[in-house]
Structure 1
């Protein structure tokens, strides 16, 4: 297309400015089109719904994570209580076993002393 203003610099600037202005007018008319505005509103609504779903899912996952952590903490506490109970039971059994062992040792010593005393008395009676 040939410039009607010739090759003058100011003519070229004016033509370029007018072309830009026409292009801007076309875009503003297209942007204000009710059909396009309705589509844009629909896309925004869909996007907002998706964002709400994402947030709800994230909140649900956080609740589940907190519940799981709470359950694990309760399980750990329960296990610790059971471990303490088992240790106490084993300590009690150990004490009982030690007491039985001491009693058995005392009974064995008493039996050895009685046997020794019997032998001593038998020797004493033989000499007479």
Structure 2
């Protein structure tokens, strides 16, 4: 039941992301799951968003994808060095799915922590 609800709420969820979400939400009540999904959907980034922002790096605005995944320091370095002379931008383009997955896993944990904080 939870898997179906997640797939409806987040249609582009990846298998790795789904496994992580299922681990994070284990034991949540139905109304808590709704709250979690609401918070998580607002924080997660799709792989397509990360890929598009990485491609924009080739137009001279390198590092936007790093700012999106809350890696501000790397974003500034990419911006100042033109994505390490485009090499870092190419690496991020190849690894855009991993960037998105790592960010989304962190946001799932952050969302559940935020929920627990407001419960008490």
Q: Does the pair score TM above 0.5?
A: no
Q: TM-score, normalized by length of structure 2?
A: 0.22
Larger Cα-atom Rg: 1
Question: More helix by proportion, 1 or 2?
Answer: 1
